Amino acid sequence: MSTIGLIFTLLKILAAIFVFGIIILVHELGHFFAAKLMGVKVNEFAIGMGPKLLRFGKKETVYSLRLFPIGGFCAMEGEDTESSDPRSFGSRKVWQRIIIIVAGVVMNLVLGFLLLVILFATCMKPDDNGKVLFSSTTISRLPETASSYKTGLRPGDKILSINGKRVITDQDIAILMQSDEDGVMDLVVRRNVNGKSKKVNLDNVKFEIKVENGRQYLIYDFAVKGIKRTPITTIVQAAKTEYSLGIMIWRSLGDIVTGKYGLNQLSGPVGTVEAIGEAVENVTRQEDIRDGLYPLIMMVALITINVGIFNLLPLPALDGGRLIFLIYEGIFRKPVNPKYEGMVHAIGLALLMLLMLVVTFSDISKLVA
């Protein structure tokens, strides 16, 4: 690799680490600001894990930057151990502690929403008529010779679900249809029948499948209506897209649990940094910068939403695990012994670090393969 190529590769990695660091920073800032708002003492606010690279702060909170950009933490007084400090985490009411715990997730979702608003407001290109349109889920054109028309679909139908899974955006349609194996699906649509809007169940709607180079591709035989971009529709589209991405993430997590996807199909920090780096490099290749920024911003939005949702999982050491303990305390009016809770989170953290190592090894193996 030439010197210029090496420098460019390093810049890509630094850009990717910067993006990943911002996502972590936003999450931890949610905990930090919520803790301060509730009067909880924060002992350390750190970005990254492992040995400290930088440390500053002379008052009660130490701010640090650590070696490995794979996480971060907001260490609160009495969070994992008993503390007599009147400003400890455990001294606050259950509802206050719940707000502190979920604040990180909320900040990630807010960041994802803002990124999507920026994306749709600045990176969408006009059509041949000079209009910027969002894709709806309502069919505008469908030839009568199409397989889906012959099996029940009609122009004007608004697709509500595919194979029992809810449809919010055109992206949902694409994902659900492409994941179907035989091209025969059950749809629920909203249709104008005799001047009234009604839900209609369409069973066994068929779409043609083309096989090319050993892979099969479902052929879309319809087009959807466009929605004119305005400030209101931009906000609505961003909200719908975030919801759609969130549902997609939940479904993917469920597929991992059921064994549909293996560990070798997961991406950890290395794989994420590589993907972001490639997206950043792609921006420099485009004549119109919007063609490069669109997939980059969409990826970053997906990652920050993913970080937020993943942290809600009811697993030890994650925000969702801590939330379970708080819900237990709220119901039974008795907290779990901090010593035992701390042990559970410590074991959970160790298992998560082990999983991180396995996934990172898989990422590296893919890169050198």
Domain parsing of the chain, residue ranges: 3-122+291-368, 133-228
Three-class SS state of 205 = strand
At residue 141, the pLDDT reads 92
Nearest-5° angle of CA 120, CA 305, CA 346?
Answer: 165
The first and second tokens of residue 316, run together, are 């030890």
- What is the Cα–Cα distance from 123 to 116, expressed in whole angstroms? 10
- What is the Cα–Cα distance from 322 to 309, expressed in whole angstroms? 14
Phi-psi region of 71 (alpha: psi -120 to 50; beta: other; left: phi over 0): left
- Give the CA-trace dihedral at 4, 10, 16, 18, to 10 degrees: -120
The first and second tokens of residue 345, run together, are 């989170």
163 within 8 A of 152, measured Cβ to Cβ:
no
Catalytic residues: 28
- What is the Cα–Cα distance from 33 to 29, expressed in whole angstroms? 6
* Pairing of β 184-193 and β 158-162: antiparallel
Backbone angles phi, psi at 51, to 5 degrees: -60, 150
At residue 161, the pLDDT reads 95
- What is the Cα–Cα distance from 353 to 346, expressed in whole angstroms? 11
Per-residue pLDDT of the chain (369 residues; tens, 9 = 90+): 567 667 767 777 777 778 888 888 899 999 999 999 999 999 999 988 788 888 888 788 999 988 877 678 898 998 877 788 899 998 999 999 999 999 999 999 999 999 999 999 999 989 888 899 999 999 999 999 999 999 999 999 999 999 999 999 999 998 888 888 888 999 999 998 888 899 999 999 998 888 777 777 787 888 999 999 999 999 999 999 999 999 988 887 777 767 666 656 666 666 677 777 778 778 878 888 888 899 899 999 998 998 899 888 888 878 998 899 899 999 998 888 777 777 777 777 777 777 666 666 665 565 555
329 within 8 A of 335, measured Cβ to Cβ:
yes
- What is the Cα–Cα distance from 245 to 300, expressed in whole angstroms? 12
At residue 358, the pLDDT reads 67
DSSP string for residues in 221-246:
--EEEEEE--HHHHHHHHHHHHHHHH
Three-class SS state of 185 = strand
DSSP 40: P
- What is the Cα–Cα distance from 302 to 130, expressed in whole angstroms? 29
- What is the Cα–Cα distance from 317 to 299, expressed in whole angstroms? 26
At residue 42, the pLDDT reads 93
- What is the Cα–Cα distance from 255 to 263, expressed in whole angstroms? 11
Backbone angles phi, psi at 68, to 5 degrees: -95, 120
Three-class SS state of 71 = strand
- What is the Cα–Cα distance from 61 to 177, expressed in whole angstroms? 51
279 within 8 A of 299, measured Cβ to Cβ:
yes
- What is the Cα–Cα distance from 354 to 359, expressed in whole angstroms? 9
- Architecture of the structural domain at 133-228: Roll (2.30)
- What is the Cα–Cα distance from 283 to 278, expressed in whole angstroms? 9
